[in-house]
A = this chain, B = another copy of it.
Amino acid sequence: MADTALAASSTPSGPSAAPAAPDFSGWTCPAPLRDHERIVMGHGGGGTLSAELVEHLFAPAFGSDVLAELGDSAHLTMGGAQLAFSTDSFVVRPLFFPGGSIGDLAVNGTVNDLAMVGAVPAYLSCGFILEEGIELSVVGRVAQALGDAARTAGVTVATGDTKVVDAGHGDGIFINTAGIGLVPDGVDIRPQRAAPGDAVLVSGEIGVHGVAIMSVREGLEFGVEIQSDTASLAGMVADMLAVCPDLHVLRDPTRGGLATSLNEIAGAAGVGITLDERALPVPDTVANACSFLGLDPLYVANEGKLVAFVPPDHADAVLETMRAHPLGKQSVRIGSCREDHPGMVVAATGLGGTRVVDMPLGEQLPRIC
């Protein structure tokens, strides 16, 4: 009864057990993580805390160079095929919201991660963790939404798994999807390729998904119903690649919003990014809701938008292509990539000044996806 595994079995498996002093025996907490002895909501927020957890805890444990790149999808070569591989878990509350459900997010979230490296999404896996007691009708409707979204996105659900946890140890439905896509020859889209001079384009209005979730969760009314923008971006990316095979960077600004995506890109490529704040497409409904909630739309999640870094000589053609797509009608150029202030995102404000757009620390809207 003295071996490590058995000793560990007395560790509480969650906060529901009696609290115990953190047991670091057999494991040394990396210095950058020592501000927290326990997981906080911000560790799942897609900001600095999330990044630290991956960089200092998961990546060293997994010993994986591929993972350490922190991109949306991993690039793999298998049997001569160039593949993209990505995963996301979905824990959104509530399960159904204006414009979609956890089933839509579970498809579109992973499909979009594949599309953001230029891959053509092909197959999804799907793992359900169900809470004992949830209505079969809810599971059925979520599964139907997931299947419908997969058909719309042109992907096949190829393999699945279902686990059930006892009532009170889950939250209705959690879903994980992993996706595989085929990367076309010659396509090389990754954050490190952002280059001074690149035009920064966004495919439409920002902040919509996060505000849609908050409005139903908090029972808030903002005059007009705000629908989530959850959608597959793979079709639009294919169109963009047809006019510009040398797209440098694509990113779908989900958790942490546009500000987080731009900061990650600036950091990965060692470039500066300048935004024209007046050009940012923020709908009035989102602006009003954010003002009421004390949020900045730049940090609010999107689930059907992309930001693209495009060589300047192709910017107009790509923008035109995006606007011709049903999901990109309101695409605009919001800024550019430059040599100065490397690693930083700076916005030119409406008042003629500038402000630094920081990486967020943690989570302003938990369980948004």
Contacts and interface: CB of A to CB of B under 8 A. Distances in A.
Given A78-B81, A86-B125, A171 B16 contact: yes
Interface in A1-39: 1, 3, 5-6, 8-9, 11-16, 22-24, 26-27, 29, 33, 36-39
Interface stretch (A127-135, A186-194, A198-206, A323-331): A127-135
Given A156-B64, A170-B171, A8 B101 contact: yes
Interface stretch (A87-95, A277-285, A291-299): A87-95
Contacts of A83: 78-79, 180
Given A27-B140, A97-B5, A143-B61, A162 B43 contact: yes
Given A42-B164, A79-B80, 18 more contacts: A9-B96, A9-B98, A16-B171, A29-B137, A37-B137, A43-B130, A43-B162, A44-B163, A45-B164, A53-B162, A57-B143, A64-B147, A78-B83, A78-B122, A78-B182, A85-B125, A169-B171, A170-B171
Interface of A: 1, 3, 5-6, 8-9, 11-16, 22-24, 26-27, 29, 33, 36-45, 50, 53-54, 57-58, 61-64, 66-67, 73-74, 76, 78-83, 85-91, 93-101, 122-123, 125-141, 143-144, 146-147, 150-151, 156-174, 176, 178, 180, 182, 216, 225, 363, 366-367
